[in-house]
Amino acid sequence: MDNQKATLELGTKPVGQLLMRYAVPAIIAMTASSLYNMVDSIFIGQGVGAMAISGLAITFPLMNLSTAFGAGVGVGASSLLSVKLGQKDYGAAQNILGNTVMLNIITGISFSIISLLFLDPILMFFGASAQTLPYAKDYMEIILCGNVITHLYFGLNALQRAAGKPQLSMYMTIFTVVLNAILDPIFIWPLGLGIRGAAYATVLSQLFALIWQVVMFSNKAEFIHFKRGIYRLKSQLVKNIIGIGMSPFSMNVCACFVVIIINNSLVDHGGDMAVGAYGIINRIVFIFVMITIGVNQGMQPIAGYNYGAMKFDRMMRVLKYAVICGTCVTTVGFIVGQFFPEQCVRLFTSDETLISLSVHAMRLTTVSFPIIGFQMVVANFFQSIGKAKVSVFLSLSRQLVFLIPMLLVLPTLYGVDGVWYSMPVADTISALVTAIIMYLFMRKINKQKTI
């Protein structure tokens, strides 16, 4: 099926079938992506040690900041592409591809240069101690050198999905996971590269996937493909891409600052081991977050296309299905976090102190997980239909408006447990605010349908 036929079906085929077709590959891809990060952590924890896990956790803010720029371009471009295809503006769709490539190259290289120049003070600011700094630095030096590869890979992956190629997008992600899982133990043990080996495995697996993507997009038979004249940055397209991408950008920047506060608070109240516990929990719950993101990615082209085509019934139907799916996913995360935390934690470490800290923290942080799915889906929905300001606000409310104040107050009252309490409290308040905004939007849509 060519891209043009695939995109036209977004406005005609049953919504449930479309969501399954787009979401299942995205869910598989996101599950694989979360396993990608999890594999790194498992091999680092078992092959290098408990302190290396803490060092890896220190890198999360910088990784989130890098992801913010990549997501700002990739998600913004893919959302805009879906809307343009819904409007049948194929010339603009072609230029979005070229502009996405150039923006990813510019942001990827710029971020790497600045970060490498100030890497030590950045990591110290993020909560690194004398014990964890060497591990964090060794890992991030390699990751930052390959940062432009990561940006291009994720950007093109998002465009493939939006252009009607969700299965190819899934295959790319699975390929990187499998290759990373093969390279990780080879680089860490036989080659003796330690935590740097895990970083090499990550960059190389993405490089090979990027080469595959370039070959695919070079095929002139594809509806959206590389050609001359599409790489010159167009101010209106760049403005729209950045405007829509501000939501994921803001979310990841906020995540960066939140993790900085969490890491420093954990060091103050619980030491380096508490930071390691947070790193393990992050990797475990990340699976359920990424699966929900997969649901969102499946919803995004359907919602964006039908909004652009003014087919509001279909748009609201796909939102309803996505909310149900997202809520089911995060409810499973709640069950795992409450009843099977020890089994999960032991995958990463055999250190009994770290296991005990992680199990206790996981039970506290996942208590509100059932409602997170709803909040994530609705925030992404507004992004998908180009309502950037609403999406940015909902993303910020969860991480900035509510979580940071909790992180500043509760640890002073409850110590390290206050850090863990902050997350479910903020999630609950944010979900309530999201429900109110969604109710007001639905009333507005219903009025439009009656006119």
Pair (95, 135) in one structural domain? yes
**pLDDT category, 1, cuts 50, 70, 90?**
very low
**Tell me, what's the pLDDT at 368?**
95
**Tell me, what's the pLDDT at 421?**
96
Residue 24 pLDDT greater than 60, yes or no: yes
Of 379 and 310, the one with more pLDDT: 379
In this structure, is residue 3 part of a structural domain? no
Tell me the residue range of the domain where 68 lies: 20-233
pTM: predicted TM-score of the whole model, two decimal places: 0.81
Question: What average pLDDT does this structure show over 5-22?
Answer: 79
Of 165 and 450, the one with more pLDDT: 165
The mean pLDDT of the chain is 89
Question: What average pLDDT does this structure show over 359-371?
Answer: 96
Question: What average pLDDT does this structure show over 103-111?
Answer: 96
In this structure, is residue 175 part of a structural domain? yes
Residue 363 pLDDT greater than 90, yes or no: yes
Pair (348, 420) in one structural domain? yes
Pair (67, 100) in one structural domain? yes
| Long-range contacts formed by 10-15: CB under 8 A, 24+ apart | 10/82, 10/85, 10/86, 10/301, 10/302, 10/305, 10/306, 11/86, 11/305, 11/306, 11/309, 11/311, 11/314, 15/302, 15/314, 15/317, 15/318, 15/321
Task: Dump pLDDT digits (tens) for 127-147.
Answer: 999 999 999 999 999 999 999
Residue 8 pLDDT greater than 70, yes or no: no
Q: How many domains does the structure of the chain reveal?
A: 2
Residue 223 pLDDT greater than 80, yes or no: no
Q: What is the rounded distance in angstroms from the CA atom of residue 261 to the CA atom of residue 61?
A: 10
Assign residue 233 a region (left: φ > 0; alpha: ψ between -120 and 50; beta: otherwise). Answer: beta
Among the ranges 75-79, 182-186, 305-309, which has the highest mean pLDDT value?
182-186
Positive or negative torsion for Cα 127, 355, 294, 397? negative
Among residues 88, 93, 78, 100, the alpha carbon closest in space to that of 26 is found at 78
Among residues 73, 112, 130, the alpha carbon closest in space to that of 96 is found at 73
**Tell me, what's the pLDDT at 89?**
82
**pLDDT category, 6, cuts 50, 70, 90?**
low
The residue among 197, 212, 233 that closes a domain is 233
Pair (252, 144) in one structural domain? no
In this structure, is residue 217 part of a structural domain? yes
Among the ranges 75-79, 140-144, 152-156, 386-390, which has the highest mean pLDDT value?
140-144
**pLDDT category, 5, cuts 50, 70, 90?**
low
**Tell me, what's the pLDDT at 449?**
63
Pair (147, 274) in one structural domain? no
Pair (253, 221) in one structural domain? no
**pLDDT category, 3, cuts 50, 70, 90?**
low
**pLDDT category, 450, cuts 50, 70, 90?**
low
Pair (86, 226) in one structural domain? yes
In this structure, is residue 442 part of a structural domain? yes
Among the ranges 105-109, 167-171, 241-245, 256-260, which has the highest mean pLDDT value?
105-109
**For residue 371, what are its two tokens?**
């409602």
Instruction: Please give the share of the chain, as a percent, with pLDDT higher than 70.
Output: 98
Residue 328 pLDDT greater than 50, yes or no: yes
Pair (172, 264) in one structural domain? no
In this structure, is residue 434 part of a structural domain? yes
Side-chain half-sphere exposure of 25, counting CA atoms within 13 A: 20
In this structure, is residue 216 part of a structural domain? yes
Question: What average pLDDT does this structure show over 94-110?
Answer: 95
**pLDDT category, 168, cuts 50, 70, 90?**
confident
**pLDDT category, 29, cuts 50, 70, 90?**
confident
Residue 82 pLDDT greater than 90, yes or no: no
Pair (258, 213) in one structural domain? no
Alpha carbon of residue 443 to chain centroid: 30
Pair (254, 129) in one structural domain? no
Range in 126-140, 146-160, 272-286, 301-315 the model is least confident about: 301-315
Residue 4 pLDDT greater than 80, yes or no: no
Assign residue 263 a region (left: φ > 0; alpha: ψ between -120 and 50; beta: otherwise). Answer: alpha
Residue 250 pLDDT greater than 70, yes or no: yes
Instruction: Please give the share of the chain, as a percent, with pLDDT higher than 90.
Output: 57
**For residue 422, what are its two tokens?**
């902050």
Pair (340, 390) in one structural domain? yes
Residue 439 pLDDT greater than 50, yes or no: yes
In this structure, is residue 13 part of a structural domain? no
**For residue 180, what are its two tokens?**
């990373």
Residue 14 pLDDT greater than 60, yes or no: yes
From the CB of residue 58, how many other CB atoms can be counted at a distance below 10 Å?
A: 29
**Tell me, what's the pLDDT at 7?**
61
Pair (43, 123) in one structural domain? yes
The residue among 209, 233, 257 that closes a domain is 233
Residue 382 pLDDT greater than 80, yes or no: yes
The residue among 185, 205, 233 that closes a domain is 233
Contact partners, residue 252, CB within 8 Å, separation at least 6 = 64, 65, 67, 68, 71, 72
In this structure, is residue 262 part of a structural domain? yes
**pLDDT category, 451, cuts 50, 70, 90?**
low
Q: What is the rounded distance in angstroms from the CA atom of residue 229 to the CA atom of residue 391?
A: 32
Among residues 296, 361, 368, the alpha carbon closest in space to that of 325 is found at 296
Please tell me whether residue 218 adopts helix, strand or coil conformation. Answer: coil
Residue 354 pLDDT greater than 90, yes or no: yes
From the CB of residue 218, how many other CB atoms can be counted at a distance below 10 Å?
A: 11
**For residue 315, what are its two tokens?**
């748009």
